[in-house]
């Protein structure tokens, strides 16, 4: 027994429960972590105090996005592994820290405590609530999800030769020439989009990763055109497009429409039929799978697979472990599953970093000589020798990384800043903040860092006013007449939503002087002071429908509402509309509606609705928040012309390279950085998220 254990800290289950209570009060643990231990103690009263403590810490790690608790890391650096704050509040007496509680505890003691507790066992045997394997402690349901993903993907990797054998290489090359043009003879670097199309066509599972603007959407549409062209005009493939959130689905929907117009399909053989057979609608993953309200279960799964031939899922970095497990099992082995996403973005809010684990070797290619030979035969382009690896793993042969950004060039301000933050190296030097400014300021022809007022109104170097003041001014100036047709009101609502979406204030934390809650109040107060917004800023940001409703208030849906057809991440704006429109009448009756007051409805453009505006009664919205400011996590899957990132003035484990990179790359034209404390961005770039999990172990020997 360690010295700490003999002093009483871990002497009994009651002592552990008291310790967890103190940790919860200090904000170190969630209430659910302690509740789990109370339940386990009731079910297994003989379980050792150390085993109960490890259960709490495994649950705590899940709350931080990890799939499991890494025991070696825990025992070597407990406080850092658990991401606890460096010290308590000034003047307060903090509870014992994990570093003191676990001092002297060995891996052998941990293993014995878990094995003797009755709470943990190997994953394949029994139904213990914890799984202890390979030096990792899992809550069982997360081990099960990881196993399901690993087994489903391994099975697909094993089918690669069959998929490639079924593909007509010459016909594929002809179609690639139609879609991309013949390969340039003098090209020194391959067209990675072309290679991605070929690799995905010859596989039942593939991942296409790349930063913003690298052409993932265009690539996958060319891939779908290739597959449908090979299939023939009279035999349409069952193709579905999906994204994890409503916002991401709506953005992909718009991207698909624009990309289809640019592809020039009418110039291809049977182009009209090809265009008709390609999908134009994007749905959320939850809607695709048939989510059952108030449960984690779906209508579609291994026993009731989706009726698809090809499934494309965008923004896959946002998909957590459990949802990915349900997704991969719902796709039949006879169908292609294609994941798109940026491996460098923030992972999902929930536990897991599936895309990051799948793509951890993507930068180096690691294509075997046989894969390289096959790709050259199909595409006419050689895989660079530096990207080939005779010892390449099976998974490597299914991953392609796109490397050239078309949204902003590598030499643009945003591109250079994103690259600098993503590597961390360019900012880790004696220049400090000066290095950041050199990366951001790219000269007068590439304005990135612009002046931002507190209300979000900014005059860019190009003279355009963007921000929240702009959408509120436009809201008033373009309001239709009360008797205008419904189409005019819907066009107006779409324009207001689009204007609001040009600019977004992002923050890293929810609380504190530079957190979400404070910034929402400050922005609302500033807009009210200018006469652009009515109401009381202090009452507007109440949770749910209880907050004060005024015209122009933007809100974000924080939980799926299937009754209203709204998905977590959907953005709406409260607008004053005629009573006849709110009642759902097709048009105004000038005599009957004279003298009627306008009423507030929240306008949404929900995914899968073909751009139709949904007018929702504010009182029906139960899970929403004011959205002048959004957390970076909530902004994933979105793109704005101008992004302003507000960083906090205190250290936080939330401040990471991935968070900064995700925020910066939400901007397409301008990026503003607001640092109450200089050097925060530089510090964040040095901290990289490393989520614990074992998915690679499931896939590592698949070859």
Q: What three-state secondary structure class fits 567?
A: coil
- Longest C-alpha distance within the chain, in Å? 87
Cα 192 from Cα 208, distance rounded (Å)? 10
CA 230, 236, 242 angle in degrees (round to 5)?
Answer: 100
Cα 330 from Cα 317, distance rounded (Å)? 19
Beta bridge partners of 574: 602
Cα 410 from Cα 418, distance rounded (Å)? 9
Residue 210 in marked binding region: yes
Residue 544 in marked binding region: no
Question: What is the full DSSP assignment across 638-693?
Answer: --EEEEEEE--SS--TT--HHHHHHHHTTEEEEEEEE-SSTTHHHHHHT-------
Sign of CA dihedral 444, 446, 448, 450: positive
Q: Please measure the distance between the N-terminal and C-terminal CA atoms of the chain and give it in whole angstroms.
A: 44
CB-count exposure of residue 151 (10 Å: 0-12, 13-18, 19+)? middle
Cα 452 from Cα 54, distance rounded (Å)? 47
- The string over 331-363, giving b where at least 16 C-beta atoms fall within 10 Å of a residue's C-beta and e elsewhere, is beeebbbbbbbbbbbbbbeebbbbbbbbbebbe
Q: Distances from the Cα of 41 to the Cαs of 56, 63, 115, 151, in angstroms?
A: 11, 21, 16, 33
Cα 185 from Cα 380, distance rounded (Å)? 9
Residue 95 in marked binding region: no
Strand 205-210 relative to strand 399-402: parallel, antiparallel, unpaired?
Answer: parallel
Q: Report CA 540 to chain centroid distance, whole Å.
A: 27
CA 483, 484, 489 angle in degrees (round to 5)?
Answer: 120
Rg of the chain over all Cα atoms, to the nearest angstrom: 27
Q: What three-state secondary structure class fits 210?
A: strand
Q: Report CA 243 to chain centroid distance, whole Å.
A: 10
Backbone dihedral angles phi then psi of residue 586, each to the nearest 5 degrees? -70, -30
Cα 266 from Cα 272, distance rounded (Å)? 6
Beta strands in 6-112 (DSSP E): 68-70
Residue 217 in marked binding region: yes
Residue 215 in marked binding region: yes
CA 88, 89, 91 angle in degrees (round to 5)?
Answer: 110
| H runs (alpha helix) in 64-106 | 71-76, 78-81, 98-101
What one-character DSSP code corresponds to residue 388?
A: B
579: Cβ–Cβ under 8 A, 6 or more apart, which residues? 593, 596, 597, 598, 599
Beta strands in 308-448 (DSSP E): 310-313, 336-341, 399-402
Binding residues for ATP: 210-217
Residue numbers in the known binding site are 210-217
């Amino acid at each position: 027994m360690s010295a700490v254990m003999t002093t009483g800290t871990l002497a009994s289950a009651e002592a552990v429960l008291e310790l967890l209570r103190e940790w919860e009060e200090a904000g170190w643990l969630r209430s659910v972590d302690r509740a789990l231990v109370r339940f386990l103690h009731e079910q297994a009263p003989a379980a050792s105090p150390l085993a109960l403590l490890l259960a709490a810490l495994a649950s705590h790690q899940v709350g931080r996005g990890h799939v499991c608790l890494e025991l070696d890391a825990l025992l070597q650096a407990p406080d850092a592994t658990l991401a606890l704050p460096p010290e308590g509040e000034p003047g307060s007496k903090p509870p014992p820290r994990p570093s003191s509680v676990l001092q002297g505890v060995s891996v052998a003691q941990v293993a014995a405590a878990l094995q003797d507790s009755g709470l943990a066992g190997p994953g394949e045997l029994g139904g213990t609530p914890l799984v202890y394997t390979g030096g990792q402690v899992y809550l069982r349901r997360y081990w099960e999800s990881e196993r399901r993903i690993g087994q489903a993907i391994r099975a697909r990797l094993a089918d690669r030769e069959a998929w490639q054998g079924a593909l007509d290489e010459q016909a594929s090359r002809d179609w690639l020439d139609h879609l991309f043009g013949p390969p340039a003879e003098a090209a020194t670097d391959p067209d990675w989009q072309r290679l991605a199309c070929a690799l995905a066509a010859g596989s039942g599972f593939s991942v296409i990763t790349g930063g913003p603007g690298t052409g993932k959407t265009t690539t996958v549409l060319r891939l779908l055109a290739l597959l449908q062209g090979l299939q023939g005009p009279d035999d349409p493939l069952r193709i579905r497009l999906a994204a994890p959130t409503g916002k991401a689905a709506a953005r992909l929907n718009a991207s698909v429409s624009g990309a289809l117009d640019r592809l020039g399909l009418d110039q291809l053989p049977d182009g009209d039929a090809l265009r008709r057979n390609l999908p134009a609608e994007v749905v959320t993953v939850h809607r695709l799978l048939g989510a059952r309200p108030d449960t984690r279960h779906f209508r579609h799964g291994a026993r009731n697979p989706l009726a698809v031939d090809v499934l494309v899922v965008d923004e896959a970095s946002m998909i957590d472990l459990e949802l990915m497990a349900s997704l991969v099992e719902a796709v039949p082995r006879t169908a292609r599953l294609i994941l798109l996403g940026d491996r460098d973005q923030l992972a999902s809010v929930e536990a897991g970093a599936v895309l990051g684990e799948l793509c951890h070797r993507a930068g180096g290619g690691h294509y075997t000589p046989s894969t390289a030979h096959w790709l050259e035969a199909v595409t006419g382009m050689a895989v660079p020798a530096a990207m080939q690896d005779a010892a390449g793993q099976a998974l490597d042969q299914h991953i392609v990384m796109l490397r050239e950004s078309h949204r902003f060039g590598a030499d643009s301000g945003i591109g250079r800043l994103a690259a600098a933050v993503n590597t961390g190296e360019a900012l880790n030097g004696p220049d400090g903040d000066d290095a950041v400014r050199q990366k951001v300021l790219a000269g007068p022809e590439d304005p990135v860092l612009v002046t931002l007022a507190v209300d979000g109104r900014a005059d860019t170097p190009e003279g355009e006013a963007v921000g929240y003041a702009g959408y509120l001014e436009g809201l008033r100036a373009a309001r239709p007449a009360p008797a205008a047709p419904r189409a005019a009101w819907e066009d107006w609502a779409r324009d207001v939503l689009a204007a609001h979406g040009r600019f977004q204030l992002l923050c890293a934390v929810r609380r504190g002087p530079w957190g979400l809650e404070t910034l929402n109040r400050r922005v609302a107060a500033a807009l009210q002071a200018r006469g652009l917004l009515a109401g009381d800023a202090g009452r507007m940001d109440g949770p749910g429908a209880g907050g004060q409703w005024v015209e122009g208030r933007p809100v974000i849906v924080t939980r799926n509402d299937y009754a209203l057809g709204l998905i977590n991440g959907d953005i709406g704006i409260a607008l004053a509309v005629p009573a006849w429109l709110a009642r759902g009448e097709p048009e105004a009756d000038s005599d009957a509606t004279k003298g009627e007051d306008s009423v507030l409805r929240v306008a949404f453009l929900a995914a899968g609705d073909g751009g139709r505006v949904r007018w929702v009664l504010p009182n029906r919205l139960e899970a929403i928040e004011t959205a002048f400011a959004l957390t970076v996590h909530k902004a994933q899957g979105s793109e704005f012309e101008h992004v302003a990132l507000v960083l906090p003035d205190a250290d936080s484990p939330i401040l990471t390279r991935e968070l900064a990179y995700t925020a910066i790359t939400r901007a397409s034209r301008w990026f503003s950085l607001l640092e109450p404390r200089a050097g925060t961005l530089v510090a964040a770039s040095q901290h990289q998220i490393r989520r614990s999990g074992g998915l690679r172990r499931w896939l590592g020997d698949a070859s």
